[in-house]
Amino acid sequence: MNSSAVLDASKAGDGLVGDSSLTEAKQANYIKVDEAPKFDLESYIANYKGRTRFERLFLIGKCSTVLSLDALRLAVAEAKSGKDVERYEQAVEALKQAAPHDPDAVLDQRWVDVTKQTVRAETDKLEHELKGYKNNLIKESIRMGTDDLASHYHAVGDLASASKAYARLKDNCTTPSHFAVMHLKTINVAIDRGDWFGVLQAVARYRSGPKPEDDQSKNAAKISSASGLAQLGQGNYLDAANQFLGAEPTLGDSYNEVLTANDVAVYGGLCALASMDRNELQRRVLENSQFRNYLELEPHIRRAISFFCNSKFRSCLDILEEYKADYLLDIHLQRHIAALYNQIRTKSIQQYAVPFSRVSLDAMAKVFAPKVVGGIASPTKIGSPFVQELIKLIENGTLDARIDLEKGLLVSKQTDLRKDVIKEALDSVEEYVNEAHLRLIRTNLVNAGIEIRVTPGPMAAEELAGRTPW
C-alpha cells in the first residue's frame, strides 16, 4: 500500500481563528494516501452534518491523490454554505494549489465581505441582547441568550469563545435537561477543538450531574462515544475500546455531527484488537450483544476479530491492510493507524508463538511476511526485515524467545517445569513429615496419661474446641 509519504501541513491553519482548525489534521502532518479507498465520497460524506463534514472533506482533499479534487470542491461548497470565512479561504487555497485553473479555486471576495459583515452584525446583536437580559436579571432569558451566542461562535469557527460561553452557561441552568444539553454542546466544541482533556472533563460532569430520565438512554450512547473518541485521541486504546464497547445501541445517526454508528464499530473494533487478548475479544466484543449491533454495520471488522480469535492471523492482517486507505482518510484515525496496526501485528506474533517451544522462521514468515517468502529476501537471514522485526521484539522484552539462525528457528524461553514439579513434591513431603511428627507426639502424650492443659490466650478457644494445631 502506497501511503507512506508525508505532506507539509503548515499551511493548513492559515487564516484560522484561534483554535478553529481541523480536529486532528491541525495537530500533525498529513499522510499522503495513493490507494483509492473503498467508500464512495458523496455517499460517505452524506452520513455527516455540521463542522465535521468540512473537516473530513478537507482531510481527504489534502491526503488522497485519487479523491483530492472532488473532496476539495465539496469542501469549498460546504464552507460557503456556512458562516466560517476562514474555512472557506482555507479550502479555496488548498484547491488552488491542487488545481490552479479550477473555477472553484477563485476566492469569492464579495461573499467573504458580505459574510464577515453579517457575522459581525449578528455577533453585536446577540451580545447586545444578552447584556439586556443580564440587566433585567431574568435567569431563563440569560441562559437562552448565552446559548444562542455560544452556538453562533461555534458556527462561525470561534471555538475558544464558544467554549467560554458554554462554561458561563452552567450558572443559569435550572433543570436536568438544561444541564444535559449544555454538557453535550460543550463536548462537541471540545471535540472540534481537539481538546480531549476538556471532552473527558465534560463527560465526567455529565455523568455525575442531573440528567432527565426521558432522554438519558438517548444521550448515553453519545456520551460513551465522545469519551471513547477522547481516549482514542490521547492514544489510550484500551480505555477507548471500553467506552465504545459500552455504547448503547441507540446511537443511529443521532450524533452525526461528530461520528456515526459505523465509526463506533471501526474505532471500537480496532482499539479492542490492539489492546485485548483473544479471550477478552471473544467475550467482550464478539459475544457482546450490545456491540454486535454496531459490528453488523462493519462486517469486515467482525471478521478480522473472529480471525484473530481463531489464530488465523494472516487473514486478520489482510483485512486490515485492505481497508487501510479508508482509515488513513478518517479525521480521527489517521494519526493512530500506524500505532494501532503495529500493536495488532505484534500481538499476532506473540499469540502465534505461544503454543510452541520452537517454531520455524519460514513458517512464521509465510504468515507475517508473505512478500519475503516470495523471493525478496530469505526470512532466515540476519538482514531480513522480518528477522530484524523479531530481534526488536526480543530486545524490548515483548517476545520472550531467542532466534537460532543456524537452524532457522524461533526458540521460546520456557521455564523448566520439571524443576518446579520436583520442588513442589519435596515441599509436600517436608510438610507431611512435620505434620506426622506432631501427631505422633500427641499420641504418645495421650497414651502416657499426660494431661494437656490449655493456657489462656488467643489460641485457647481453638484448642478447647479440639482444633489444636498438632
Of 107, 137, 159, the one marking the end of a domain is 107
Q: Work out the mean pLDDT of the chain and round it to a whole number.
A: 84
Question: At residue 382, what are phi and psi to the nearest 5 degrees?
Answer: -65, -30
Helices of type H across 46-194: 51-63, 68-80, 85-98, 109-136, 139-156, 159-169, 176-193
- Do 399 and 446 fall within a single domain? no
By residue range, what is the domain housing residue 393?
A: 356-412
pLDDT, tens only, 114-149: 999 999 999 999 999 888 888 888 888 988 999 999
pLDDT at 452: 67
pLDDT at 416: 56
Greater confidence (267 vs 433) lies with: 267
pLDDT at 154: 94
- Do 408 and 455 fall within a single domain? no
Greater confidence (397 vs 262) lies with: 262
What is the tally of helices (H) and strands (E) in the chain?
23, 5
Q: Is the pLDDT of residue 60 over 60?
A: yes
Q: Is the pLDDT of residue 28 over 60?
A: no
Question: SS3 for 190?
Answer: helix
Residue range 441-464: mean pLDDT, rounded:
68
pLDDT, tens only, 252-288: 888 999 999 999 999 999 999 999 999 999 999 999 9
pLDDT at 447: 83
Q: Is the pLDDT of residue 1 over 60?
A: no
- 409-412 and 358-360: which strand pairing? antiparallel
Decide if 54 contacts 20 (C-beta within 8 A): no
Pick the closest to residue 272 from 311, 308, 314, 317 (CA basis): 308
- Do 391 and 455 fall within a single domain? no
Decide if 56 contacts 48 (C-beta within 8 A): yes
Q: How confident is the model at residue 379 (pLDDT cuts 50, 70, 90)?
A: low
Diameter of the chain measured on Cα atoms: 117
Residue range 32-41: mean pLDDT, rounded:
93
- Do 408 and 434 fall within a single domain? no
- Do 54 and 98 fall within a single domain? yes
Question: SS3 for 394?
Answer: helix
- Do 12 and 70 fall within a single domain? yes
- Do 361 and 454 fall within a single domain? no
Of 59, 85, 107, the one marking the end of a domain is 107
Q: How confident is the model at residue 404 (pLDDT cuts 50, 70, 90)?
A: confident
| Least confident interval from 23-27, 177-181, 437-441, 454-458 | 23-27
The structural domain count of the chain equals 3
pLDDT at 218: 73
Greater confidence (424 vs 58) lies with: 58
Q: Is the pLDDT of residue 35 over 60?
A: yes
Q: Is the pLDDT of residue 319 over 80?
A: yes
Q: What is the distance between the alpha carbons of residues 345 and 343, in angstroms, rounded to a whole number?
A: 5
Residue range 196-223: mean pLDDT, rounded:
85
pLDDT, tens only, 284-315: 999 999 999 999 999 999 999 999 999 999 99
Greater confidence (263 vs 209) lies with: 263
Is 131 within the bounds of a domain? Answer: no
- Do 402 and 433 fall within a single domain? no
Q: What is the distance between the alpha carbons of residues 265 and 286, in angstroms, rounded to a whole number?
A: 12
List, in sequence order, every residue forming a beta bridge with 360; answer none if it has no partner: 409
Is 188 within the bounds of a domain? Answer: no
Is 139 within the bounds of a domain? Answer: no
pLDDT at 244: 96
